[in-house]
Chains A and B, each alone.
Chain A
Amino acid sequence: MVMEDMELERLSAAMDGELDDEKLPRLLGGCRRDPVLQESWYAFHLIGETLRDPQLPPVHLHGRVAQALKDEPTVLVPGKSSVGSVPLDGVTQRRWLAMAAAIAVVVLTTALLRPGLPTNPVIAQQEPSAPALIENSVSDKDIQTFVALHRQGSPLSEFQTVDYTPQTIAQR
């Protein structure tokens, strides 16, 4: 497990141009022998090519990943989980987190925005009374509007958090 992680990390580093020259031949040899590494090689390239596909609308990857990591609305606050039984170091964790975020954005973008596919395919099929469990990529503006309105109306919200937003209100 540790070896696989290290190989995948080296593979990712090689694609980023960050792998030392002396380690590259060994990695390429491993790719020839190891079908798992070969699949990973093709998968990583597919992700990169999809991201660079000019047919796709711009995804503003950096901003969306940054926003997703910042707010990350999470369903029902699941408990902390560990990846496998081997703790990963900080560099590896960041690399895989970035990779996972990139895959999530690509999948979401290709599913929702690729020309030729029906627009809004998932949402339109949702049963209105049974909301989907969405982990991120929710409409931040929509949510933040209602958060701001809640803080304006709640007597327990500190006044500091009450931001001024133009609106017309009337009491019943």
Chain B
Amino acid sequence: MKAFGKGIVPIIGLLVCGVVQAGSEFVSDPLSLLGQLSHAAHDQSYSGTYVVQRGSEMESSRIVHTHIHGEEVTRIEVLDGRPREIIRDGKETRCYYPVQHKIRIEKGYTRRLFPALIEVPYEQYLRFYEISRVGMNRVAGRDCQRILLRARDRQRFDHEFCADANTDLILKAVTYDQHHEPLETLLFTEVSEGDSTSPELLKSTYPESNHWKKVFFPPPVVDRLSYQWSIPALPSGFGQVLQMSIQSASVPGAPFEHLVFSDGLSSFSIFIKPLQGEDFRPVQARLQSSALSYYSGTVGQHRIVVVGEIPQEVVTAIGQSMTITEETH
């Protein structure tokens, strides 16, 4: 009996430790936790290099984030591929494309910039994601707390953040598919806090850009359409954040509609294009290089394309559920 007792105690201890390590820890105040992650990204000054990996694509960027005269300013320089530079201040976000001599200016439109991935209202996350702490990790040489946002339904993917144990800054963000395989990963490879940034660093490195063509986004409003649509299979929690009409050189034919929906962590686009005799292939596919789900089909005399960071079956259901109603005068 003594021998049995001596043997079983360590085994039970190991099992208990294993369960505790593998299990997740309930977050008693998830709103507060999400607020900490958001404030850490917006309120602190930091600089570093981070990597975006999506499918087989990978790109690294240099980021500087600080405050000038009380205004939050971010500068991102893309280090791989064609040069691009992004500068955001309190008024707008400008992306410089030196090869094309163009500047894309986003005003009144908040595109997320890593590591500021959590935005108000925080309640939107709690409705559709269950938040828990799932242990510690180490990223960019720092200890970080793993925080899992598990989707409450099968209409969206799970997300995991690893927040710096001392500063709450998100050092790593992963989006998982339904098989818990990483779809998209953003992570710092090195980061440092502090306000030693010179204001000069936040200016564009392209002084000649004053003469470049400026493209504003979102675009100006135009007249209403002659058709309407309904989306019965629209996943709950996804709200429309943008609707615009596009005439693209890459897509011949008449202008078409682009709708964007988001639940705060994932997004998808719906394109509605009047058919004008062009040929295309109906497709349902997972695009491994870009980690996106894709659907292309027709509804009446319109082509429907749905693409986004949501499960393939959801993208397909959205596209197949749509109806188009032509307005009669």
* Contact surface of A with B, Cβ cutoff 8 Å: 70-77, 79, 120, 123, 126, 128-134, 138-139, 141-143, 145-150, 152-162, 164-172
Q: Is B24 an interface residue (CB 8 A)?
A: no
Partner of B298, one of A74, A129, A171: A129
B289 A157 Cβ-Cβ under 8 A: no
Q: Is B17 an interface residue (CB 8 A)?
A: no
Binding-face segment, B4-12, B37-45, B164-172, B215-223: B215-223
B 278-322 to A, binary, CB cutoff 8 A, 1 in contact else 0? 011111111111101011111100000101110011000000100
Known: A167-B250, A168-B247, A171-B218. 11 other contacts (CB 8 A): A76-B312, A77-B312, A123-B279, A131-B297, A134-B285, A146-B269, A146-B296, A154-B262, A161-B52, A169-B219, A171-B220
B292 A170 Cβ-Cβ under 8 A: no
Given contacts A76-B312, A149-B258, contact A131 B295 (CB under 8 A): yes
Given contacts A146-B307, A149-B246, A153-B242, contact A159 B285 (CB under 8 A): no
Partner of B251, one of A145, A153, A155: A145
B287 A71 Cβ-Cβ under 8 A: yes
A153 B258 Cβ-Cβ under 8 A: yes
* Contact surface of B with A, Cβ cutoff 8 Å: 52, 54, 56-57, 59, 61, 76, 78, 84, 86, 93, 95, 97, 100, 102, 104, 109-114, 177, 179, 186, 215, 217-222, 224-225, 241-251, 255, 257-258, 260, 262, 265-269, 271, 279-290, 292, 294-299, 305, 307-309, 312-313, 320
Chain B residues near A155 (CB, 8 Å)? 109-112, 241-242, 260, 262, 267
Partner of A129, one of B245, B258, B294, B297: B297
